Chain A
Amino acid sequence: MSKRRNFPDSNRRNFLKGAGLVSAAALTPLTAGAQVSAPKQNLKAPVPGPTQIAVETLPPAKDPVNQTSSGGDFMVDVIKTLNFDYLAMNCASAFRGIHESFINYGKNTKPEILTCPHEEIAVHMAQGYAKMEGKPMAMMCHGTVGLQHASMALYNAWCDRVPVYVMIGNIIEGDKRAPGVEWVHSAIDPAAIVRDFVKWDDQPASLQHFAESAVRAYKIAMTPPMAPVLLSLDAELQENPIVDPESLRIPKLANVVPPVGDAGALGDAAKMLVAAENPVIICDRLARSPAGMSRIVELAETLQCAVVDNAGRMNFPSRHPLNQSFRRSVISQADVILAIEMNDVFGSLNAFSDRIARATRPTVKKGAKIITLGLRDTYMKSNYQDFGRYQDVDLAIAGDGEASLALLIEAVKRFIDPSRKSAYDTRGKKLAAAHQAMVEQTKSDATLGWDASPITTARMCAEVYAQIKDEDWSMVGTSIRLSWPHRLWNFDKPYRWNGVSGGAGVGYNLPASLGAALANKQHGRLTVSFGGDGDFMFAPGTLWTAAHHHIPMLYIVQNNRAYHQEYMYLTAMAARRSRGIENAHIGTTLTDPNIDFATVARGFGVHGEGPVTNPNDLAPALKRAIAAVKSGQPALVDVVTDPR
């Protein structure tokens, strides 16, 4: 409901009276005569010159030193209506006005400030949090240098279709900027550097403008397809007294109901699916609430069809017999493919050869019908190419995947021919058998190098699962191509997993995991995350935030002492050119000295274990770390692993 701003005390109603200012005019001007009397010869101080005399004799400028209202307080009133729990930030003078309002006027609650030693940490925390909690976190930074720090994380959130509510500080009026730093920290269009990967931005020119844009920004961010939004807050508006408080109102927020696909088109899709011999569902960023997983399970079980989960969200239970995510040959056998909320349909339906010619070939059967469902086609931008290559499809349905599934399921049930039920059951049994065979093969694969040092990634993941499987666990991060958890563990609840970075910008994993851990904390879940050593080194200060805010999280560093994907790329380049393969470690490895992540962790006030090099030492180290996590602390285990 729209409301006039209610001030907490009656004095606040009188902002206008006297403009809330305590005037510097209280200073008593000195009379000219008192100051210009003839100096005595014995005085040691220099005689005032004409300039000094003028300064001291002119009437004082109107330069008040106190105020009883501030635009920042009103801004906090507006922000509080948006129900943020947290505000992640690295402090900066460009938003000192609203910062002070958050802590003293807003009492540092709803939102509570999270101190982050880098803006990229703040944004990534917000990204991980939003995916786990289903609501955005606010983030605040300097309008120029801070936003430049934050930009890569914003790109990750954009590609990941995650709402992050960003506020930046800026000083719009040139004559209000102090010489020096405030000039280099100001811009006429500070959002320009991130406009390609935020959904909407504004730089309000008044407090009322701010109120409306603040509510609008929230609404836009939370309307699927979700994405970051940005507000640039003028320092004058934040810091100075409110000129006309009675004219201000806070608009009403109404979240947009996610758009559902056209009923006729969903009906056509249903007919194709029920008539298919081998329908396959592929999904990526589908489940944005707990309902998403149950709906995709219901659709798959109704059809007894294969599901390939690209794991952009927690879409489909890992041990469900219809889960064929690690048996993608089902795609090449499909006659109807339903692709839901995919960023890159082409990438899933075609093979790409990373050789000189860089050729592609379709992996789908000729004549297979392809249906897309999602909002990917409804909103995109031109510059950054996160939309992937164009894919021919037969039916493209614009609609939120999760919301549209209810109608689709209903239509599928309506169109199923009961006489085909036994064929469906047979199909389901075949898929279940194939799933079980895949599980057995995975377990066998995992035994290779079981006792090796460096520790195999399979052993590492098996040891971790053994320690957490009886807890209410939530895995919120994984290092590049570490698929063992999804192949071995039982991901059976909507919060067991929350996806990957989106933009593949390294440096996501540690801070995004911490954001998700913060969300999990209030639900009493045990958060576990794997992250690479290369990723860790981008934002190690995240650990200080974890310790400072007492956020429990078990963080496993998969320490292969390299930017290993690049190490392999360099090897491939050298092999292609038949020279110097043995030099591929140059510029790609993190050795000499080896990094002791446990010691780094302890330096930040985090429980540290390792480096663990003997696989038999892993279980005891994990037990100690988990004990620390269960006591409310973050803990890190440095596991020296084989590459992949």
Chain B
Amino acid sequence: MPRFERAVAFTVTFALAAFCAGAMTIGARAQDAPPGDAVNGKRLYLNDNCFTCHGRAGQGGAYNGPAPALAKTAMPFEGFLGQIRNPSNDMPAYAAQVMSDQAVADIYAYMQSLPGPQQAKDIAILND
């Protein structure tokens, strides 16, 4: 059956890059985060479908709008938790009953374990 994709019912097909940049500019306070288990965080990140919007490598993606990159996020843990509990945009809210604070801490730890961006100038094909 032909299907409609509500996300592209608007002719605007592009993600709004400005949103992505926003999440990266908050002051870095990752060291203030509660202890998290990055291995369990990876399992949760994949199992709870965080990756569907933010990418398996935490590179970001797009849902109705852009989904920010989370690898080595500079967002402090409190902001990260707040965004999960009461998102500021179309991101689904994950209540404590489906994602505990500890689970969020584990996911946060996994995000911090991922490699961040490389120097784009070192990748020749990004400079064509």
Contacts and interface: CB of A to CB of B under 8 A. Distances in A.
A448 interface: yes
A466 B5 contact: no
A488 B126 contact: yes
Interface centre among A353, A449, A452 (most CB of B within 10 A): A449
Contacts of A486: 14
A571 B92 contact: yes
Nearest to A309: B14
B124 to A, nearest CB: 8
A500 B118 CA distance: 32
A352 to B, nearest CB: 8
A344 B12 CA distance: 9
Interface stretch (A214-222, A297-305, A437-445): A437-445
Contacts of A285: 11
B126 A447 contact: yes
Interface string A433-470: 00000101111111111101010101000110110010
Contact of B61 (A120, A326, A576, A644): A644
A556 to B, nearest CB: 15
A643 B52 contact: yes
Contact of B71 (A448, A500, A504): A448
Interface in A141-175: 152
B14 to A, nearest CB: 4
A545 interface: no
A213 interface: no
Secondary structure at chain B's binding surface: helix, strand, loop or mixed? Answer: loop
Interface centre among B17, B90, B127 (most CB of A within 10 A): B17
Nearest to B71: A448
Contacts of A488: 126
B11 A452 contact: no
A288 interface: no
A456 B55 contact: yes
Interface centre among A329, A579, A581, A584 (most CB of B within 10 A): A581
B33 interface: no
A466 B126 CA distance: 8
Given A353-B90, A568-B52, A644-B53, A448 B14 contact: no
Contact of A481 (B55, B56, B62, B92): B62
A264 to B, nearest CB: 30
Contacts of A343: 11
Interface in A539-580: 563-569, 571-576, 578-579
Contacts of A325: 14
B112 interface: no
Nearest to A447: B118
Given A328-B16, A456-B59, A643-B61, A444 B117 contact: yes
A328 B14 CA distance: 11
Contacts of B95: 575, 578
A569 B67 CA distance: 14
Interface residues of A, number: 78
A478 B13 contact: yes
A576 B93 CA distance: 6
Contacts of B49: 567-568, 571, 581-582, 584
Interface string A498-513: 0011111111000000
B120 A446 contact: yes
Contacts of A478: 13
Interface string A353-387: 11100000000000000000000000000000000
A347 interface: yes
Interface centre among B4, B10, B93 (most CB of A within 10 A): B10
Contacts, number: 198
A630 B18 CA distance: 38
Interface centre among B10, B12, B18, B64 (most CB of A within 10 A): B12
B13 A481 contact: yes
B56 A454 contact: yes
B24 to A, nearest CB: 9
A480 B128 contact: no
B67 A504 contact: no
B7 interface: yes
A480 B59 contact: no
Given A445-B117, A571-B52, A480 B57 contact: no
A471 B51 CA distance: 35
A348 interface: yes
A505 B10 contact: no
A462 B128 CA distance: 9
Contacts of A575: 92-95, 98
A6 interface: no
Interface string B83-103: 000000111111101100000
A355 B20 CA distance: 20
Interface in A80-100: none
Contact of A642 (B55, B63, B125): B55
A573 B63 CA distance: 13
A355 B90 CA distance: 7
Contact of B13 (A311, A444, A571): A311
A643 B12 CA distance: 19
B58 interface: yes
A568 B62 CA distance: 10
B48 interface: yes
A458 B61 CA distance: 10
Given A449-B71, A563-B3, A579-B98, A441 B17 contact: yes
Given A480-B13, A481-B15, A441 B21 contact: yes
Closest 7 CB pairs of A and B: A449-B57, A644-B61, A575-B92, A152-B2, A448-B59, A443-B120, A572-B92
Given A506-B4, A567-B49, A572-B92, 15 more contacts: A328-B18, A342-B11, A353-B89, A354-B64, A456-B59, A462-B126, A501-B8, A502-B11, A503-B4, A565-B5, A572-B91, A578-B98, A643-B53, A643-B61, A644-B55
13 contacts: A342-B11, A445-B17, A445-B60, A448-B55, A448-B115, A462-B126, A463-B125, A480-B5, A487-B17, A502-B11, A504-B6, A504-B9, A644-B55
